[in-house]
Structures are given as C-alpha cells and as structure tokens.
C-alpha cells in the first residue's frame, strides 16, 4: 500500500512496515527536546516524585531560550535548574543561551531525515522541514517520554498543501503560511500531519522551509513535513539525505493546491494569525514598532530579507532585531547583513525567544501598534492587552519600519 511520508516515519518508529491513519500506535522516540520553561523546571520534580531516571540522555537536547536573559530571581532560578539538571543527568546536548531551540536543533546537527522526535514546545513541527516527524507535547507527556523512551499517538492522516509555480520577489514562506492559516483557519490542520509540497516549496532554502513547518502550529496540525532532498542534505552537511517522501498515490485526507505566482505579501491583523489579508488591505496603518525576532522570523534568511529592504534606508519606527541564534547573528555580521540593519536604526536584542514569548520584561506598552515577524498575535501575548500586533514577513516588516506604516515590500524592490 502506498504510504505518506508521515505514515512511513510513524511506522518506522513503531517498528511496523505500515500504519493505518487513526490507529493508535506506540513509537520509539529518537530525540526529545526541551527548553528552560517547559523542560527541567517541570520534569525534574516529576522524575524525583517517581524516582525515575531518563531512559537515554544521549537522545535528549536541552536549550535555554525562554528566560534569556534572566531578568529576575524567578527567571534566574528557572535557567539555573536547566543547567544543573542537564549536567546531573549527563545530557551533553545542552545549548545555553545560544539561540532558539527550533533553530538550534538542525543548526547543531541533531536532526536527520526519517527521525521521530518530540519537543516541549508547540513550534516543534519546525523539525518537519527536515522530514523529521516532530511535534510539541506538554511537560507531563515529556515525563512519560523521558522515563520510557516512547509515546503513543493516533497514526496521522496527511493533509497535502501544494504550492505550484514560484514565489515573486518580496514574497516569502511567511506569506505562504499566513495565507494558508487565513484560508484554512487555526484548526485547518485538524491535528493531523500537514505535508508541504510543490515546485514553490522545493525552491525554498532550508530556513524558509523551517518557517513553513514552524507555523503548522498556528494551522493546528500535529506536525508539518517536507520531503528530504538535496537542499536538506546540503544544510545538514551530509553527503546524501535518505529520500524520505510520500509514495505516489498515497491516500490523503485533503489536497489543497495554491499558486505561488499570484501570492501577494500577507498581513494578519490583531488578534489572530488567521485574520489574514493581502498587505494592501492594511497599508497605511501607522506603526510604533517593528519587531524582527523568533524562530519563525529572525533566522539568517529572515535577516537577509529585512536587510534587502533596509539597505541604505532608515527605519521610521522603533526597530528591534533579535537574531534567532548566535551563529546566525555571527554569519549575518560577517556577510554585512547585520551592519545594514544596525545602520538602518535596528536595536539588537539577545538570541532568544524575547518578545515573541512575552515571558521577559520587554513587552509591548499600552496601545502600542506593532508589526512583527513572529508567529502569534494573540491579545496580550507580546505585551499589554491594548497593544495591536500585525504579523508579516521580514520583507513586509522591514518595509513597514521604513515607511512608519504598514507597507508593501514590493514597492521597495521596483
């Protein structure tokens, strides 16, 4: 029987040759990722209560990114717990204040196509860009994984999302996702596997593919997957990526086809990522602040998009940039991208979740109107409940920062 990419990985992890969507299977976990907020702080006391040990510390990755930099005693305690626990547990893959977990996983070589992985964070589907079946779980489920090395799930149906053609200049993966979430809704993914395919997806560089899979969280899928290919292998620095893909003719729950050629830059208005329209519907809205940050919006590729807009120009709004990882920031500095942003007036923030998570002291003030490359504009998430957050691509956020109002990035390219 023809199987989807999702079925193939789940079957492999369940020790089976195939699985039927809807059946409940138990899978061996190849990798479990946790960050400071949902990780050690929460699982350590539970492990102690059970008197249990971690099944395989070599399969666990711990990252500090949510309470970074720690601004108060509670936050310092949370980060300290992550450090101490990683050391005591013998977890060697501990990345301390080096960037956002979803960006570090592939950057530090933890992912390989065909893996089955869980993460203690809802944006864990980011790993799906590398044909890894990866999804977010809560701390109690993580406890179950840590003591058993296993997790149950309903073998997923696959929803195929095909983008034909090519994206136009000034249009990016973020626009594809905001468009999709607007079209299908925040529950469009039905907690199934979403597979992104088609010419426009294949043409995306790896970090743009990560943006697609990352925002499967906002689409309501369990995971978001892209078949592995040459681009995957090159990014991971491996000679050849095993080809993990869907068989021709495999049964899918739905197959949505969209045309990348005609896609305009998208903007999601407050307070939902599904409030999406073409940028023209919002152009002219005055802005106080532009934010370029988060796993979904401040990777090297994202910084490059912003720099293309900002080169030789000045931001009229306050412009905050929080590069998603230390290495991406260093690469951006070496190639001059970071210099362009700073020259344009950008204030540089630490390589962490920052305002996107809204856990730290830097939050949007009352009545602030912001445009942001982040994933969620829920009321009050990034700051005051009265703050208004528009979501958009790095191109659109940068173009809007220059204009001081929501602006179409294509006007700057011509």
Partner 1 sequence: MRAWVFGDNIDTDSMAPGQYMRHGIETIAQHCLEANDPSFPAAVRPGDVVVAGVNFGAGSSREQAPAALKHLGVAAVVARSFAGLFYRNALNLGLPVVVCGQSDRIRAGDNLAIDFEQGCIANRTTGETFACEPIPSHLMAMVRDGGLLPHLEKRLRHA
Helix (H, G, I), strand (E, B) or coil at 162: strand
> Binding to partner 1 by residue 78, rule CB under 8 A?
yes
Binding-site size for partner 1 (CB under 8 A) equals: 44
Query: What is the Cβ-side half-sphere exposure of residue 393, based on CA atoms within 13 angstroms?
Result: 34
Strands 133-136 and 116-119: parallel
Contact (CB, 8 A) for 369 and 392: no
Query: In the beta sheet, which residues pair with residue 164?
Result: 259
Contact (CB, 8 A) for 125 and 217: yes
For residues 385 and 367, give the distance between their C-alpha atoms in angstroms, rounded to a whole number: 8
Specify whether the backbone of 277 is left (phi greater than 0), alpha (psi in -120 to 50) or beta: beta
> Binding to partner 1 by residue 55, rule CB under 8 A?
no
Q: Is the dihedral of CA 400, 403, 404, 406 positive or negative?
A: negative
Q: Which of residues 253-272 bind partner 1 (CB under 8 A)?
A: 272
Contact (CB, 8 A) for 253 and 163: no
Whose tokens are 């450090």? That residue is 83
When binding is defined by CB under 8 A, the residue of 222, 246, 351, 396 that contacts partner 1 is 222
> Closest CB to partner 1 among 36 and 107?
36
* Minimum CB–partner distance for residue 34 and partner 1 (Å): 10
> Binding to partner 1 by residue 121, rule CB under 8 A?
yes
When binding is defined by CB under 8 A, the residue of 306, 357, 364, 369 that contacts partner 1 is 357
* Minimum CB–partner distance for residue 378 and partner 1 (Å): 5
Spatial neighbors of 81 by CB under 8 A, at least 6 apart, are: 36, 40, 41, 44
Element (H, E) at 258: strand 254-259
* Minimum CB–partner distance for residue 3 and partner 1 (Å): 22
Distance of CA 124 to the CA centre of its chain: 7
> Binding to partner 1 by residue 325, rule CB under 8 A?
no
From residue 159 to residue 198, the character string flagging contacts with partner 1 as x (rule: CB under 8 A) and all else as - is --------------------------xxx---x-------
Segment lying near partner 1 (by CB under 8 A), choices 12-20, 34-42, 195-203, 236-244:
34-42
> Closest CB to partner 1 among 186 and 331?
186
For residues 184 and 252, give the distance between their C-alpha atoms in angstroms, rounded to a whole number: 16
When binding is defined by CB under 8 A, the residue of 25, 46, 254, 331 that contacts partner 1 is 46
> Binding to partner 1 by residue 308, rule CB under 8 A?
no
> Binding to partner 1 by residue 122, rule CB under 8 A?
yes
Q: How far is CA 146 from each of CA 30, 50, 66, 104, rounded to the nearest angstrom?
A: 11, 12, 21, 21
When binding is defined by CB under 8 A, the residue of 13, 60, 67, 398 that contacts partner 1 is 67
Segment lying near partner 1 (by CB under 8 A), choices 83-91, 132-140, 225-233, 323-331:
132-140
* Minimum CB–partner distance for residue 380 and partner 1 (Å): 5
> Binding to partner 1 by residue 354, rule CB under 8 A?
no
* Minimum CB–partner distance for residue 274 and partner 1 (Å): 8
* Minimum CB–partner distance for residue 262 and partner 1 (Å): 28
Contact (CB, 8 A) for 135 and 125: yes
> Closest CB to partner 1 among 186 and 206?
186
When binding is defined by CB under 8 A, the residue of 57, 69, 144, 198 that contacts partner 1 is 144
Beta strands in 270-376 (DSSP E): 276-278, 289-292, 318-321, 346-348, 369-372
> Binding to partner 1 by residue 101, rule CB under 8 A?
no
Q: Which of residues 364-403 bind partner 1 (CB under 8 A)?
A: 376, 378-381, 385
For residues 125 and 362, give the distance between their C-alpha atoms in angstroms, rounded to a whole number: 27
Specify whether the backbone of 354 is left (phi greater than 0), alpha (psi in -120 to 50) or beta: left
When binding is defined by CB under 8 A, the residue of 206, 363, 404, 410 that contacts partner 1 is 363
When binding is defined by CB under 8 A, the residue of 17, 20, 26, 72 that contacts partner 1 is 72
* Minimum CB–partner distance for residue 295 and partner 1 (Å): 13
Q: Is the peptide bond before 127 cis (omega within 30 degrees of 0)?
A: no
Q: How far is CA 350 from each of CA 107, 239, 292, 323, 354, rounded to the nearest angstrom?
A: 18, 33, 12, 7, 8
* Minimum CB–partner distance for residue 143 and partner 1 (Å): 7
* Minimum CB–partner distance for residue 163 and partner 1 (Å): 24
For residues 66 and 383, give the distance between their C-alpha atoms in angstroms, rounded to a whole number: 15
- Residues near partner 1, by CB under 8 A: 37-38, 42, 46, 49-50, 67, 72, 74-75, 78, 119-122, 124, 135-141, 143-144, 185-187, 191, 217, 220, 222, 272, 274, 357-359, 363, 376, 378-381, 385
């Amino acid at each position: 029987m023809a199987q989807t990419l999702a079925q193939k990985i789940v079957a492999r992890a369940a020790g089976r040759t195939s699985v039927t969507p809807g059946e409940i299977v138990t899978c061996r976990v190849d990798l479990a990722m946790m960050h400071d907020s949902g990780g050690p702080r929460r699982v350590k006391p539970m492990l102690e209560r059970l008197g249990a040990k971690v099944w395989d510390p070599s399969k666990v990755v711990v990252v500090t990114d949510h309470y970074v930099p720690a601004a108060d005693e509670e936050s310092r305690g949370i980060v300290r717990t992550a450090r101490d626990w990683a050391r005591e547990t013998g977890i060697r893959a501990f990345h301390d204040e080096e960037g956002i977990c979803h960006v570090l996983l592939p950057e530090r070589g933890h992912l390989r196509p065909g893996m089955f992985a869980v993460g203690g964070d809802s944006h864990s589907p980011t790993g799906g860009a590398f044909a890894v079946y990866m999804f977010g779980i809560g701390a109690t489920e993580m406890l179950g994984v840590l003591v058993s090395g296993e997790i149950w799930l309903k073998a997923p149906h696959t929803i195929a999302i095909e983008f034909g053609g090519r994206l136009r200049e000034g249009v990016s993966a973020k626009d594809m996702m905001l468009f999709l979430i607007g079209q299908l809704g925040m529950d469009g993914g039905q907690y199934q596997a979403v597979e992104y395919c088609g010419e426009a997806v294949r043409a995306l560089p790896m970090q743009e593919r990560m943006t697609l899979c990352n925002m499967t969280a906002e689409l309501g899928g369990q995971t978001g997957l892209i078949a592995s290919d040459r681009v995957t292998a090159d990014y991971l620095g491996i000679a050849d990526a095993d080809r993990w893909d869907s068989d021709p003719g495999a049964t899918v729950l739905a197959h949505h086809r969209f045309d990348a050629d005609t896609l305009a830059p998208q903007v999601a208005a407050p307070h939902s990522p599904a409030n999406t329209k073409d940028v023209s519907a919002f152009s002219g809205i005055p802005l106080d602040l532009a934010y370029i940050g988060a796993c979904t919006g401040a990777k090297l590729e994202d910084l490059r998009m912003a720099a293309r807009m900002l080169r030789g120009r000045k931001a009229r709004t306050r412009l905050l940039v929080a590069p998603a990882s230390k290495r991406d920031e260093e690469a951006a500095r070496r190639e001059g991208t970071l210099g362009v942003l700073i020259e344009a007036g950008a204030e540089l923030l630490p390589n962490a979740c920052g305002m996107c998570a809204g856990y730290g002291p830097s939050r949007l003030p009352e009545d602030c109107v912001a445009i942001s490359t982040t994933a969620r504009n829920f009321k009050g998430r990034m700051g005051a409940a009265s703050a208004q957050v528009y979501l958009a691509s790095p191109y659109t956020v940068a173009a809007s920062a220059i204009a001081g109002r929501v602006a179409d990035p294509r006007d700057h390219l011509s």
